[in-house]
Amino acid sequence: MECQDYGLNRSVERRNLNLNPLQRGGVLPKEARVALYEFSDGYSVCDYCAGRLDEISKPAISSFLEDMARFINIDIARTVHGAREGKFAVMHALCNPGDTIIVDGNAHYTTHLAAERNGLEIIEVPNSSHPEYIINPEKYREVLENSIDEGKEIKLAVLTHVDGNYGNLTDATRIGKITADNNIPLLLNCAYSMGRLPIDAKKMNVDFVVGSGHKSMAASGPIGILGIREEWAAKILERSKRHQVKELEMLGCTSRGAPIATLMASFPHVIDRVNSWKDEIKKTRHFVKRLEEIEGVTQIGVKPTEHDLVRFETPGFDEIAQNHPRKGFFLYEELKKRNIVGIKRGQTKWFKCSVYGFTKEQIDYISLSFKEIAEKNR
């Protein structure tokens, strides 16, 4: 049989300044690239396994998981294949089909899919709508308590710590208090926060946290972290009846090779970078300020931003597109000429971007490029 070359080349996206928020926190440091090569074969972490992935001591997965649990201040940590699989596992362990959960209005689609695959009903806490789209803790309380008053039994509360549309950071501590007061376990989705900013699960009063290795923890992935409070361990980590050492929700073993090896190799780098979160915010706010100096460019979501993912409305660029011979493609093409990628092709009404991990000089170069493109084409 003949086959085509499958286009396995991403040098453009890798070598240029990539503003796609999805890509910024998953860039591997050198140590992780070495580990990726070392553990590139299938089942590569399983050479010395005695039946439980989380107990393997060479490579030191068991100590790594203990360190990870300490890093996010929760009792127990497991790896899963991504934030979504973590959410699915918690919902699956806690709920039965037909049960109801409460979810914030900025939830990721994977929260909805995890619920749907589990046959769950969702009650949604609306955001404050344009232009801030805030998830207000008092609104969360109102929707939750009204539903309970109407006789709904709510099995689980889910909160998006930082959402992927506006980069809004929710007040998990206050919402954690509200759900705890109502005796409802809370799952905090930290896909955009764990590995970027400090997470203290106990301080925030949450029962479960999920993180995403490929999104925010400098891992090649797919890999996620599921953090569990002790009191839920028996339920979430229930063992198989037939294969008594195997944890059912984990389907026995989760990440079994390069994904976990890169996560482990990157961990010191991740611990270190979380301490620089305040600098990242400063850099992002500086970037937003520069971009908003361009006519017809406004950041939406909470201001000043509290996360590196920022969303801009850009009627200024859209107006240029109307009269430009390349129409909506001009922005992408002009950026690419300047070695900047990651803004969707053809899109000029709005865009999301992130300068996470870039130097001040790179950020100044990027904002200057946007300015130049606006001025040149106006």
Ligand X SMILES: *Cc1c(COP(=O)(O)O)cnc(C)c1O
Contact residues: ligand X, CB under 6 A:
82-84, 108, 110, 160, 163-164, 189, 191-192, 212, 215, 224
| 306/280 Cα distance (integer angstroms) | 10
Q: Which is nearer to ligand X, 259 or 328 (CB)?
A: 259
Task: Give the shortest CB-222-to-ligand X separation in angstroms.
Answer: 7
Peptide bond into 268 cis (omega under 30): no
CB of 219 to ligand X, least distance (A): 10
Contact present, 213 and 259 (Cβ < 8 Å): yes
Do 303 and 167 form a contact (C-beta atoms < 8 A)? no
Hey, is 268 helix, strand or coil?
A: helix
Tokens 């972490």 correspond to what residue? Answer: 45
Q: Name 115's Cβ contacts closer than 8 Å, sequence gap at least 6.
A: 91, 101, 103, 121, 122
The span from the CA of 235 to the CA of 20, in Å, is 38
Q: Which is nearer to ligand X, 107 or 374 (CB)?
A: 107
Q: Minimum CB separation from ligand X for residue 191, in Å?
A: 4
Judged by CB, which is closer to ligand X: 92, or 290? 92
End-to-end CA distance of the chain: 53
Q: Under 8 Å CB-to-CB from 258, ≥6 apart: which residues?
A: 35, 36, 39, 40, 44, 220
Shortest separation between residue 164's beta carbon and ligand X, angstroms: 3
159 vs 374 by CB, closer to ligand X = 159
Question: Which of residues 191 and 261 has its CB atom nearest to ligand X in the complex?
Answer: 191
Task: Find the helix or strand (DSSP H, E) in which 142 lies.
Answer: helix 137-149
108 or 229: CB nearest ligand X:
108
CB of 58 to ligand X, least distance (A): 27
Give the type of residue at 85. Answer: E
Least CB distance from residue 86 to ligand X, whole Å? Answer: 8
- Minimum Å gap between C-beta 289 and ligand X is 25
Sheet hosting strand 298-300, strand order edge to edge: 298-300, 310-313, 350-353
Structure tokens at 108: 């990721």
